[in-house]
Amino acid sequence: MRNRTIARELAIQALYQLDLRGDQIKNEIDDFCKKSTEKEDIYKFAVLLVNGCRAHLTEIDEKISHVTEHWELRRMAIIDKNILRLGVHELLHRNDIPPKVSINEAIELAKKFSTKNSGTFVNGILDKIYTQYGNGKQKDSECTLFLRNMHKVEYGDADLHVHTNYSDGTLTPEEVVDEAVRLGVSTISITDHDTVYGVLSAYRYGQGKKIHIISGIELSAYLDPSEIHILGYFIDIGNVSLQEVLRQAHEDRLKRIYDMAEKLHKLNVNIDPQEIFTLAGKGSPGRMHVAEVIQKHGYCTTIVEAFAKYIGDRCPAYVPKKTITPQQAIKVINDAMGVAVLAHPGLTQRDHVIEELVQYGLQGIEVYYPTHSPQDIKRYLKIANKYNLAVTGGSDFHGERKRETSIAKVTVAGNMVDKLRQKCSFAGHG
Q: How far apart are the first and last CA of the chain?
A: 51
Would 285 be classed as within a structural domain? no
| Boundary of a domain, candidates 99, 133, 167 | 133
Q: Are residues 354 and 382 in the same domain?
A: yes
* Full-model pTM: 0.67
Q: What is the pLDDT of residues 308-337, one digit of tens each?
A: 999 998 899 999 877 799 999 999 999 998
In which region does residue 362 sit, left (phi positive, over 0), alpha (psi from -120 to 50) or beta (all else)?
Answer: beta
19 and 94 share one domain = yes
Structural domain total, the chain:
2
d(CA 64, CA 178): 28
pLDDT tens-place string over residues 38-67: 898 999 899 999 988 988 888 898 888 877
- 202 and 73 both lie in a single domain: no
What CATH code is carried by the domain that includes residue 82?
Answer: 1.10.940.10
Q: Distance between CA atoms of 168 and 401, rounded to whole angstroms?
A: 8
In a 10 Å sphere around its CB, with 0-12 CB exposed, 13-18 middle and 19+ buried, how is residue 352 labelled? exposed
Predicted confidence at residue 98, as pLDDT, reads 85
The domain of 327 spans: 142-244+322-426
CA distances to 202, 223, 379 from 360, rounded to whole Å, are 31, 14, 21
Looking at the structure, tell me whether residues 355 and 213 fall in a common domain: yes
| Dihedral-angle region of residue 220 (phi above 0 means left; psi in -120 to 50 means alpha; beta otherwise) | beta
More confident residue, 73 or 90: 90
Instruction: Please check whether residues 203 and 333 belong to one and the same domain.
Output: yes
429 band by pLDDT with thresholds 50, 70 and 90: very low
Laid out side by side, the sheet with 364-368 consists of 158-162, 187-190, 212-223, 226-233, 339-342, 364-368, 390-393
Based on DSSP, count helices (H) and strands (E) in the chain, helices before strands: 19, 7
Domain finish residue from 103, 133, 163: 133
Last residue of a domain, one of 76, 98, 133: 133
pLDDT of residue 121: 86
Residues 229 and 343 in one domain: yes
Considering the domain architecture, whether residues 24 and 111 belong to the same structural domain is answered as yes
Q: Are residues 166 and 232 in the same domain?
A: yes
Residues 80 and 154 in one domain: no
Q: What are phi and psi of 396, to 5 degrees?
A: 60, 45
Q: How far is CA 339 from CA 272, 321, 391, in A?
A: 38, 22, 12
pLDDT of 6 > 70? The answer is yes
CATH number of the structural domain spanning residue 163: 3.20.20.140
Give yes or no: residues 71 and 100 share one domain: yes
The answer to whether residue 266 is domain-embedded is no
Q: How sure is the predictor about 134, in pLDDT bands with cuts at 50, 70 and 90? A: low
Q: Are 399 and 170 in contact (CB under 8 A)?
A: yes
Ramachandran assignment for 189, one of left (phi > 0), alpha (psi -120 to 50 degrees), beta (any other): beta
